[in-house]
Structure 1
Amino acid sequence: MILPMAPPSITLYDVPSAAPEAWAPNIWRIRLILNYKRLPYRTVWVEFHDVERAMRAIHAAPTSAGRDGRPIYALPAISVPHHSTGAPMVLSNVAAIAEYLEVTFPARPVFPEGSRALQVVFVQYLSEVVLQPLLPIMVPLTHFRLPPRAQAHFRGSAPMPMPPHLQPGPQNEQAWQAVKDKFDALASMLDKNNGLDGDGVVAMGRELSYADFAICSVLIWIERVAPHDGWARIRSWSGGRWVRLWDRCKDYMDVL
């Protein structure tokens, strides 16, 4: 268990589910880094429908723009005291936050020397290729786990039915098989670390890194939102590789 030895100086903004509990993968990626680096922080919970108001209140920059040009505010975001003035400084992009934490707190690096570019490419591949068949499953399931007001924020007034590919039957099995195929292909790549180059579990060979936290944050998302369907399946995939990675990261899963 990670016990901060000083009052928190970093605030991490997170969005709860109906539980409530931490589930969002991009936010978990930052939380894992904070815990791994043993940085004291506190979590502030922000409901989905309050994200824009809360981010504007702390002068966070929008993370993207909609088709109409309207700024879009999303989490994660962190607030930290400026190193010279002490005034709050807010970062609101997952990649920018990870970069800031690595540069500002270099102890226990998540980007070992010379690996930054390769890890960034790896995480981009993870997002754009490996996770694509997972999103049509996890996004609706996540919607149903949100508090009622947050659900209405996304769907409008009409209720959202359960999509056919999430209902028991052949379509559901086909959807999960497409996810399994991508995870198996990723496992084959990572298995090249077996032997002298590493233990075959983590992306950099022997030590946890940013790439591992990017994968593990997705595993946490699945375990929290789809424990009986998704996580129960993934535990048996790729010879148990994903459970072994989970076990390597579990010491950094505290929510402070």
Structure 2
Amino acid sequence: MAEITFYDIILDPAAYPMSPNPWKTRYALNFAKVPYRTTWVPLSQIPKTRDSLRLSANRKHMDGTDFPTLPIIHDHPTSTGPSGGTSGGEAVVGDTFDIALHLQNTYLRNQDKAAQLFPGDGGGGTVALHRAFNAFVDQIFTFNGAPLGGCYMPFDPRTAEADKADMVSRFPGKTKWDEFEVPPGTDAREKMVRDFEEVLDTKLGPCYPSSRGPFLDGRETPMYADFIVGGWLQFMRGCLPEWDELRNKWSGGKWGRLFDALEEWTDVDGRDGVVPKRR
């Protein structure tokens, strides 16, 4: 049976997947109940993969050069959704948010309210709010979480040095990977951790009231906004030394509550049954 091909980033083959944007897409694919298979792409092969699918880079590095990245989906003409409808034509989509829109418009538009990535979107208002929320959440984690965890990403041991050197070259003023680390136990790291905790609690925390359901605005069912946050929580789980603290203690434990509530949509395929269990 034809299906969607989902292109995700593979780091260390022995590590659980952790790239935030592909996780947003994986959550959305599982939520939409569309058959798909994962093609795992090493970091060094991402530009070639995008080129082979005739997709230009959709982001920029800090130095202004092209940043070809994943996810991508290749939706084959006979892919079927939860109600048996087909995609109606081939589509290759290479931007995380555009993938969510494709799934919504192609497979979920006629589903009930609880099965919508962008619920209640009659005139595009929910999509616009989601775009703003996506930028808001990305900024929080990119500027506060990634500097604490990014240097601990589990690279493939066979290509780690080359992958790290390539990343270092994109950051002006950096000459080696170790310069990104703020070591645990230092005053500088403790301040950064507490700042991250405060930003999450004061800026994102009000979107998730603890007295109601685990999802955005206290809902009992998720929407794409929750998968945006979930994607970044998966990244933090994979590389942040303070993950257990973030998960169980920050904001009264609401981030762990959300993370656990998203478990239903975390199926991972394509690793021949050897995908490590998440911590």
2:98 to 89, 96, 99: 96
Q: After the TM superposition, list the runs of 4 or more consecutive aligned residues in structure 1 that deviate by more than 6 angstroms.
A: 83-87
Matched, 1:189 2:201: no
Q: State how 1:1-256 maps to structure 2 within 5 Å.
A: 7=1, 9-18=3-12, 19-65=14-60, 71-82=66-77, 88-106=90-108, 107=111, 108-114=115-121, 115-129=126-140, 131-142=142-153, 145-148=154-157, 149-155=159-165, 159-161=176-178, 163=180, 165-192=182-209, 194=211, 199-206=212-219, 207-226=221-240, 229-234=241-246, 235-256=248-269
Most deviating of 243-252 and 115-124: 115-124
Q: Secondary structure at the match of 1:132?
A: helix
2:188 and 2:44 map into 1 onto residues whose CA distance is 32
Q: Aligned partners of 1:201, 1:96: CA distance in 2, in Å?
A: 25
Q: CA deviation at 1:17?
A: 2.0
Q: Percent identity?
A: 24
Q: Is the 8 A contact 1:81 1:88 kept in 2?
A: yes
User: CA RMSD of the aligned region, Å?
Assistant: 2.7
The answer to whether the 8 Å contact 2:77/2:90 transfers is yes
1:190, 1:201 within 8 Å by CA — same for their partners in 2? no
Give the SS at the match of 1:181: helix
Partner amino acid for 1:174? K
The TM-score with structure 1 as length reference comes to 0.84
8 Å CA contact 2:8–2:39 kept in 1: the answer is yes
TM-score normalized by the length of structure 2? 0.77
Shift of 1:79: 0.6
Q: Is this contact kept in 2: 1:8–1:42, CA < 8 A? A: no
Supply the AA of the counterpart residue of 1:177.
Answer: R
Local SS of the residue matching 2:215: coil
What is the DSSP-based 3-state SS (H/G/I as helix, E as strand, rest coil) of the residue aligned with 2:39? Answer: strand
* Counterpart in the other structure of 2:276: none
Shift of 1:44: 0.4
Shift of 1:191: 4.5
Assess if the C-alpha contact under 8 Å between 1:81 and 1:89 holds in 2: yes
Summarize the Cα distance change of 1:41–1:162 in structure 2 as closer, same or farther, 3 Å threshold.
Answer: same
Which amino acid in the other structure matches residue 100 of structure 2? A
Unaligned runs of 5+ in 2: 79-85, 169-174, 270-279
Give the CA deviation at 1:221.
Answer: 1.0
| Cα deviation, residue 253, structure 1 | 0.7
Unaligned 5+ segments in structure 1 are 1-6
Report the CA distance between 1:31 and its aligned residue.
0.2
The Cα offsets for residues 65-104 of structure 1, whole Å up to 9 and x where unpaired, read as 5688764321011111247998753111111111111101
Structure 1's 184 and 121: CA in aligned 2 closer, same or farther, altered over 3 A? same
Measure the CA separation in 2 of the matches of 1:191 and 1:160: 36
